[in-house]
Amino acid sequence: MVTLPPALQPGDTIGLVCPAGYMSGDKARVCIEALHQWGYHVRVGTTLGSDSGNYFSGTDEQRLADLQQMLDDPAIKAILCGRGGYGVGRIIDRIDFSAFKKTPKWIIGFSDITVLHAHIYANYKIATLHAPMAAAFNDGGVSSEYIQSLRFALEGRKSKIHCDAHPFNRRGEVVGELVGGNLTLLAHLVGSRSDIKTRGRILFLEDIGEYLYNIDRMLYQLKRSGKLDRLGGLIVGGFTDLKDTERPFGEDVYEIIRDVVKEYDYPVCYGFPVSHGKENYALKSGAGHKLKVGKHRTTLEE
């Protein structure tokens, strides 16, 4: 049984941290203003705007300490990651989740934050929020349905998301726990303490900036490790800014995925609005969902 952290109440405090890549404080300004307008207090961690002089938002020790403080503080009711990038995998095995297990709170983010989602689900069976981060509030994003889906999730509302049918869809209906996130991270987590079980689950995948052959390789890593053969269902999100080699791979990303899972019979949908782009609905990772892939549209309902 998966535990869902409690919904937030007006006046609750959200912690804002950067456990991976660097993010300037200016890029979080709109996000912080919006969270205040939603009725929440915001506590900014030491890693937001921390100029380490390199890719990261601080040393491993600084990023670990900042996140640990937010996890341990009972006054913090949710933790929003400023951005992803890379870095959580360097500190994940040193995080103490003792206080978090006793009083779960929503962990929010995507991309590199997939490491946190997977680790918490695999080890503690607590749901997290795969959702837009601070930068997504900028450039008018704050009023989008995707940012609003994060607001609704924090308020405890259940989600029901629709998307159009795709020619590669495999129709069907399934109920199961929703797991997944960034394909690159999920492939790298195989065999680690953060590796997730996928049997009977609804798996969702997305990625950005990869070569097509690398997408193929990572999918075969999941397949060879048994992650794809006993799924309840598969949700294929956005794969953005992909690259090809000088000699073309010969298939686009959806064709690659179609061929990797063609031998299975579970429902599969393509083009679901979860991605590194603007189309990125908040999803309660670990929570039970119903996936229905129909003739004319797909529905994912909590």
- Is 111 one of the catalytic residues? yes
**Cα→Cα distances 34→40, 81, 131, 157, Å:** 9, 15, 15, 18
Token pair, residue 229, equals: 């053969």
144 SS3 class: coil
Decide if 128 contacts 106 (C-beta within 8 A). Answer: yes
Q: Catalytic residue among 119, 130, 177, 206, which?
A: 206
Q: Catalytic residue among 50, 57, 111, 194, which?
A: 111
Contacts of 26 by beta carbon, 8 Å cutoff, 6+ apart: none
- Of 20, 21, 44, nearest in space to 116 by CA: 20
Token pair, residue 261, equals: 């899972």
DSSP label at 8?
A: P
Angle between helices 253-260 and 212-224 (to 10 degrees): 20
Q: Catalytic residue among 117, 119, 276, 289, which?
A: 276
- Is 36 one of the catalytic residues? no
Q: What is the dihedral of CA 277, 279, 284, 286, to 10 degrees?
A: -60
- Of 63, 60, 68, nearest in space to 18 by CA: 63
Compute the distance between CA of residue 107 and CA of residue 126 in angstroms, rounded to an integer: 10
- Is 276 one of the catalytic residues? yes
Catalytic residues: 111, 206, 276
